[in-house]
Structures are given as C-alpha cells and as structure tokens.
Amino acid sequence: MNKKFVLFIILVFLSFIAVTLTADESTSTRLSLPDESEISLERTIDWWNGILHVKIVKQNDIKQNFTPDNKYLVERYIREKLPDIFLNSVLDIYVDSAHTIRDLVIEKADSIRSLKNFYIYGLHEGAYQSQDFKQTFVYYSFPVYSEKGIISLFLHHDYPEPLNKEIGFIPTMEYTGLIIYAKGTYLSYGTNKRVSVEPALFPVLYDEETNIVLDKWMCDPGYLKKWGMVAYAETTGESEFIKRTGLYPLKTMAHQVFGKNNCDLTLSNEVVKKLLTSEKNRKMLQQGRILIIIDPQQ
C-alpha cells in the first residue's frame, strides 16, 4: 500500500479523535439550565422599610463538572425568569383582610402585566453556591412602597376622604402617632376563635361596633407611597420608629381582630374618640403615622 496514502488515513483518524474529544470536553462544562421545578422561593417582607426580600434556590446537577461560570449562568437564567419569579413572590401578599394580590390580579391580564413590570426595580443582592455545589442561592430585593413599589398599583385616589368626627368634648391631646400592641392572639370578631394578626398593605381600623375609623381611602396617597398605611414591627424599642410615630404617640392595645385574612383591627371606643375628636389626630392617621407591634413572621 502506498505509504503516503497510509499516512493520510492515519492523520484523518487522529483529527477525528481530536474533534470528538474537544466536543466532549466542551459539553461537560456546560450548565444545564433548570426548569421551574428546580427553583424554590423564600420570601420575607421588611414592613418597616418596605422591602420585599426574595431568596431563590436552584438545585444543581452535581454530576456535572462545575466551573467558575456555573454561578454566572444560573444568575443569568434567574434574570431571564425574574418577571415570573417576582410575580410568584408577591401573589400571596395580603392587600387587605379580604384579598390577596392574587385575588385582585389573577383574572385580569392587564393587571398581571402591570404587576410583572415592577420586577425591573429589583436589586440583585448577590449569589453563592453551597459548599457541596448542590444548590445555588440568588438574592433579590424589591421595593414595596414609593412609585416603584407594588403598593402604587393599588392606589386609585388623589385625595383622602375625610375621617368621621367625634362630636362633643372628649379629653384628649394632640398625638404624634399611634402605636397598637397586637402580639399574641385575639378574638376574631363575631367568632370564638383566637387568631394572630397578619400584616397587610391596607389594614382597616374599626371601633368596637365595626364602624370604620381608617381605611386606605381616608389616607393621603402621598404618604401611602412614602411608607405605607401602617408599619409593622416586633418591638417598640427602636429609636428609628420616632421618625414615624414621633415623641408623643398614643399607645394602645388591639381590641379584636377582624376580617377573613385576620388583618384588620378593632380599637376600643375610648381610644377611637381620642383619635377622632382632634383635627390634628385625624390628620396624623391620614399620614399613616401608625405602628402595629406583631409577633415575628414565619
């Protein structure tokens, strides 16, 4: 056989092996992007600062060879899926004691699109892989308040409606805020059940006869965007709270819990009268200078 021909055959064979090895090596470093079943979400809300924190956990295929760009590829995938991730993170937030966000938008395509658009205000706060490389954790935060926050999607008034006035003389003073202690369990209005208070974007305050004292329509929309209708916290010990409730707040306890979602509160008639007799106290309520102390959220 011609030696040149044999040499040619050998070179072609070696080239084929080289191409095959190169292709295999390239494939082994590629991260298979996960489907939604490999992603789980953990959501927490900082109601005081108005920040939604989302921890995204992606399960990795540890049989693959990991390289430094694996984390980057997961982050890129999460960015692509961020509109849906954001939507799923907010759907179960209570808007009020009768509705979640899901209840108000799920059957309205325009509302869903509008809600999804808020994902663009998300802040990427970092990512890392577990030591065994089985999971990648990606962190985002989203504003709840301000023009960029989801609260603005549910504001449809330009001016606050007036609060009901208490007629007659009632001993009171001008308070700088209202602090409601609502830790533990309370009777759910009209039942014998004891329930814990659940935070919401727009909780309603009632008197003992369930006359409305304050709802979102009575609040100044500018202040609603600024810091929400009420703030929630686990303690009154933070000096930071003074920014909202001032130096001389009226302090009281919740009387009962009201509503399907256990978000609304009733106050004693005595407290309500102190609040509604004074014009400055009514204005204080309209500005959302309210702090509700609740149990830690799971």
pLDDT tens per residue across span 154-209: 999 999 999 998 766 677 899 999 999 999 999 999 889 999 999 999 999 999 99
What pLDDT, on the 0 to 100 scale, is given for residue 131? 83
30 or 75, which is more confident? 75
264 or 1, which is more confident? 264
Contact call for residues 168 and 272 (beta carbons, < 8 A): no
In this prediction the pTM is 0.82
Domain tally for the chain? 2
Kindly provide the b/e burial profile for residues 174-186, where b requires at least 16 CB atoms within 10 angstroms of the residue's own CB: ebbbbbbebbeeb
What pLDDT, on the 0 to 100 scale, is given for residue 9? 41
| 18 within a domain of the structure (yes/no) | no
- 243, 124: one domain: no
- Give the pLDDT band (50/70/90) at residue 139: very high
- If DSSP codes are grouped into helix, strand and coil, which group holds residue 117? helix
- 273, 172: one domain: yes
- 48, 147: one domain: yes
- 187, 289: one domain: yes
- 189, 133: one domain: no
- Give the pLDDT band (50/70/90) at residue 66: low
What pLDDT, on the 0 to 100 scale, is given for residue 62? 66
Instruction: Tell me which of 153, 177, 205 is where a domain ends.
Output: 153
| 28 within a domain of the structure (yes/no) | no
> Looking at residues 46-53, what average pLDDT do you find?
94
What pLDDT, on the 0 to 100 scale, is given for residue 296? 87
**What tens digit of pLDDT does each residue of 91-128 get?**
999 999 999 999 998 878 788 889 999 999 999 999 99
Q: Whole domain around residue 137: which residue ranges?
A: 36-153
- 247, 287: one domain: yes
- 85, 181: one domain: no
Q: How many CB atoms lie within 10 A of CB 207?
A: 20
Instruction: Tell me which of 107, 129, 153 is where a domain ends.
Output: 153
60 or 245, which is more confident? 245
| 107 within a domain of the structure (yes/no) | yes
- 149, 170: one domain: no
- 95, 188: one domain: no
| 5 within a domain of the structure (yes/no) | no
Orientation angle between helical segments 269-277 and 279-286, nearest 10 degrees = 100
What pLDDT, on the 0 to 100 scale, is given for residue 117? 94
What pLDDT, on the 0 to 100 scale, is given for residue 64? 62
Q: Helix-strand-coil percent breakdown of the chain, rounded to 5?
A: 35, 25, 40
294 backbone φψ class: left, alpha, beta (φ>0; ψ -120 to 50):
beta
| 25 within a domain of the structure (yes/no) | no
What pLDDT, on the 0 to 100 scale, is given for residue 24? 31
- 201, 96: one domain: no
What pLDDT, on the 0 to 100 scale, is given for residue 167? 64
Tokens of 248: 């001389």
Handedness of CA 228, 229, 234, 240 (dihedral sign): positive
- Give the pLDDT band (50/70/90) at residue 267: very high
> Looking at residues 83-90, what average pLDDT do you find?
95
Mean pLDDT of all residues belonging to the chain: 85
- 149, 234: one domain: no
Q: Fill in the DSSP letter of residue 133.
A: S
Percent of the chain with pLDDT over 90: 67
Instruction: Tell me which of 153, 173, 197 is where a domain ends.
Output: 153
| 19 within a domain of the structure (yes/no) | no
Q: Fill in the DSSP letter of residue 100.
A: B
- 128, 188: one domain: no
Given a cut of 90, whether residue 134 has pLDDT beyond it is: no
| 132 within a domain of the structure (yes/no) | yes
| 31 within a domain of the structure (yes/no) | no
